[in-house]
Structure 1
Amino acid sequence: MNVKQFHFHDGEWFPTLPQSNSAQLLLVFGCRHAYRKQTDSETLRKAFPRADIIGCTTSGEILGTEVYDDSLVVSAIEFEQTKVEVISANVREFQRSFDAGITLANGLLKDGLRYALVISDGQLVNGTELVAGISQGLPEKTLITGGMAGDAEKFQETVVWHNETVAPGEIVLCGFYGDSLKVGHGTLGGWSSFGPNRFVTRSEGNVLFELDEQPALDLYKKYLGEFSDQLPSSALRFPLSLKLPGDDEAVVRTILSINEDDKSMVFAGDIPQGATCKLMKASFDSLVDGANGAAEGAVTSIQSDHVSFALLISCVGRRLVLGQRVFEELESVEDVLSEDCPLSGFYSYGEISPLLNGTQCRLHNQTMTITTLSEVIDA
């Protein structure tokens, strides 16, 4: 397995793109305008004629331990024995995000499938439904990870691309096949809850209307205080911890938009009635420790120190809280994986991965999610 990385910013590629590369997969994260320019001129296709090109807009592009905006970060991956198949669809073609997920999953070849990477629109797609559909359509225990596209802190439009298709609402599912591929995963947050438990007394899918029979938005604004005038972006600082009846583990949910008319809030994933919620907050150190724990989990899950590539998908809310110290969570990952391991990824509107010790895939918010890839070739 060979990985080469490239960075497009200020109108130039660093380093210069090759004339022709045999990579099978190109992960491209960054600015939609820069991507359109490169694909319209066939720059990327000429350099990587065999590759499926997939990626999305971001709330920050990750390359090594640095974070960039309005650029393109490219990881060209060439496998020795692993085969890759990519399919895509637009959520607007389906009645529900679940239907899009199960259709995409059914479209992948199943024989030898080891791992599936999901890159989804972050505004039009219900992440909980999408993950449920993909999980139902794929063979049991297939590892699924990925993330939902970002749009800085604007929450206006996210875009996903697959080769020449560049559109809002797009969802890409990439299957990896073969026994030589070793995939690790780790997910951890670092947020802590505060305040009383609140019960979800009225909701529909990912729209929350009432907590404790009170208008959800009004109650949320009371907690935000001075930050309430900056909604929905300020909600990234105070996500919700959500726990379903009978579940031991809580998941985190981030607000995507608000409706002042009916006092509701739209989240990246479902908010089921009967669930309990708490507000959450975080410190610099707890977020950095969470990223470090995610990296430890990814290494432990494959029981190997050798990692050829690590895909990092972290939430835009974490970047907002960490501010100028955002590089510290990336350095904490590098400390675990070593300086020789190529790191790439993006800050997102939702992260997709099993819990640290689990196999069932879930939608997360406000987490650092790490997927490690390597090939072990038998002599």
Structure 2
Amino acid sequence: MLKVAVGHSNDPDASAAIDEVIEQCIQSLAGQVPQAGILFTAIDFDHPLILERIQDVFPGIDVIGGTTDGEISSVLNYQQDSVTLMVFCSDRVEIHAGLGRGVSKDPIAATQQAVQDAQRQSQSLTKLCLTIPESLTTSGVRILDGLKQALGHNTLIVGGTAGDQQRMQHTYQFFRGEVLSDSVPVLLFSGDVLFSFGMAGGWKTIGTQGIATKVDRNILYEIDGKPALEFYLHYLGAPPSDEYPLAVYEPSGQKYFMRAPSGYDEETGSISFFTDIPEKAQVQMLEASREELVSASQTSFRQALESYPGQEPSAAVLISCAARRHLLGTRTEGEYQTIKTNLAKNLPCCGFYSYGELAPLEPKSETYFHNETFVTLLLGVQ
């Protein structure tokens, strides 16, 4: 058994909002006691109060989460300035939380600490890691690298980095009753858990490929030995923007992940991106229409549904990118609406808009850090 409940409120008052969310969860749980949960909230809420109220009603619950650029649920669809909570109950799936602090100082040590904290509570091997880490104080790629080292090759890693409604000032992560920054909370699943994922962007390549010949982490200086800015100007006739992200091909050259530009320097000809780009990687420009962006969420959900190993999933976790929300504007709600037609009746869904998404490019492959992507995670039990 895996029982999942979701609550969602857009009441601007934190106390009223979390009371409404908790009441919705209690009604769905029908007397069962949740062991873990994920919480997504807008940046301006009273987060300590919200977490305290959750712990008061569900003592000892292993909650992780973070602040967002928008919230999604099967209760209120897409919202901004809201609070949504998904809680899990199971007698066959172990779900435990762990936390790593000071991730900008030592991503490897912080991620190892988070994984070890969660695993020492578990009686079985970890199969799935869900994480909502820091996004502004350090590279999401380095956080992911640390998680890969700590978890090994047999654990699926899925998640998204915390946001702050594109203020780019300060994000918060949640762990049990704590509100933190510069941290990496994880929720590890083991036992009889079943899961699948899907990811899609809706983007298509334009122009020819080039080689990132000079890179310093997230700053791309040269493509094919020439200033990176020239590459953009050649194809666009305009400077970089999140409407034209960069495809970065993985080593085989068959699949790519995306990087969203965050700025550029005319003097050096360099382009800054939201996270790291591997040196010598093949790169290519991307573009998409609003219709293609919206339909990508349906593609992502369909991929997850088609590869789900059980009969029916118990829940869906949905993670989209803040840049997608910015580009879609008033059409953002369409991302969730397009997948509702594929949803089983009353399937609990919960998610958020992040500053970076974590998911593999295809089944049974390693996880990459993405920008401007829609990720679906389906959960269930054997």
Per the normalisation by structure 1, the TM-score is 0.87
Equivalent AA in structure 2 for residue 22 of structure 1: V
Instruction: Please state whether the residue corresponding to 1:337 is helix, strand or coil.
Output: coil
Specify whether residues 165 and 210 from structure 1 end up closer, same or farther in structure 2 by C-alpha distance, changes over 3 A only: farther
Equivalent in the alignment of 2:210: 198
The aligned length equals 367
Instruction: Look up the match of 1:155.
Output: 168
Contact 2:196–2:304 under 8 Å retained in 1 = yes
Output the CA distance in 1 between the equivalents of 2:309 and 2:251.
33
Shift of residue 350, structure 1, vs aligned partner: 0.9
Partner of 1:73: 84
One-letter code aligned to 2:84:
V
1:333 paired residue number = 339
Correspondence 1:250-265 to 2 at 5 A: 250-256=256-262, 264-265=270-271
Say if 1:210 and 1:99 are closer, same or farther in 2 by CA, change over 3 A: farther
**1:358 corresponds to 2:370:** no
Which residue identity is paired with 1:10? Answer: P
Identify unmatched segments of 5+ residues in structure 2. none
Look up the equivalent residue of 1:24 and give its one-letter code.
Answer: Q
1:10 maps to 2:20: no
Give the CA deviation at 1:48.
Answer: 1.8
Match for 2:4: what amino acid?
V
Preserved contact between residue 21 and residue 47 of structure 1 (Cα < 8 Å) = no
> Alignment RMSD, CA only?
2.7
Q: 1 CA distance for matches of 2:108 and 2:90? A: 31
* 1:119 maps to 2:132: yes
The 5-angstrom pairing of residues 29-178 of structure 1 reads 29-39=40-50, 42-64=52-74, 66-92=77-103, 94-95=105-106, 97-109=107-119, 111-178=124-191
Amino acid at match of 2:54: L
User: How far apart, in 2, do the equivalents of 1:121 and 1:272 lie?
Assistant: 21
- Judge conservation of contact 2:21–2:85 (CA < 8 Å) in 1: no
Taking a change above 3 Å as real, the CA distance of residues 191 and 374 of structure 1, as seen in their structure-2 partners, is: same
Which letter does structure 2 place at the counterpart of 1:280?
A: L
Tell me the distance in 2 between the aligned counterparts of 1:2 and 1:76.
Answer: 8
- Could you tell me how far apart the structure 1 residues matched to 2:226 and 2:247 are? 18
Residue aligning to 2:34: 23
Matching of residues 179-258 of structure 1 within 5 Å = 179=192, 181-217=193-229, 220=232, 228=239, 235-256=241-262
Identity %: 27
Change (3 A) 1:171 1:221: farther
Distance between the aligned counterparts of 2:73 and 2:321, measured in 1?
15
Cα shift readout 1:1-55 (whole Å, capped 9, x = no counterpart):
2222222422223736348972111211112332425247x22221221312211
Contact 1:299–1:305 (8 Å) recurs in 2: no
Taking the aligned partners of 2:225 and 2:33, their CA distance within structure 1 comes to: 58
User: Which shows bigger deviation, 128-137 or 55-64?
Assistant: 128-137
For 1:261 and 1:78, the matched residues in 2 are separated by: 56
Instruction: Provide closer, same or farther for how the CA distance between residues 280 and 136 of structure 1 changes in structure 2, counting only shifts above 3 A.
Output: same
TM-score normalised according to structure 2 size: 0.86
The 1:262–1:44 alpha-carbon spacing in structure 2 relative to 1, beyond 3 Å, is: farther
Is 288-297 or 339-348 further displaced after alignment? 288-297
Matched residues in 2 for 1:71 and 1:260: separation? 39
Q: Secondary structure at the match of 1:307?
A: coil
Residues 164/272 of structure 1: CA separation in 2 closer, same or farther (3 Å cut): same
Contact residue 100 and residue 183 of structure 2 kept, 8 A:
yes
- Please, which moves more after superposition, 84-93 or 314-323? 84-93
3-state SS, counterpart of residue 27 of structure 1 = strand
Which stretch shifts more, 100-109 or 270-279? Answer: 100-109
Q: CA deviation at 1:140?
A: 2.8
- Preserved CA contact (<8 Å) 1:56 1:119: yes
Residue 100 of structure 2 aligns with an amino acid whose one-letter code is A
Instruction: State how far apart, in whole Å, the 1-side matches of 2:249 and 2:21 are.
Output: 49
Secondary structure of the 1:120 match is coil
How much has 1:347 moved relative to structure 2? 0.8
Cα distance change of structure 1 residues 104 and 351 upon mapping to structure 2, 3 Å threshold: same
Q: Secondary structure at the match of 2:44?
A: helix
Q: Which ranges of structure 1 fall in alignment gaps of 5 or more residues?
A: 229-233
- The equivalent of 1:317 in structure 2 is 323
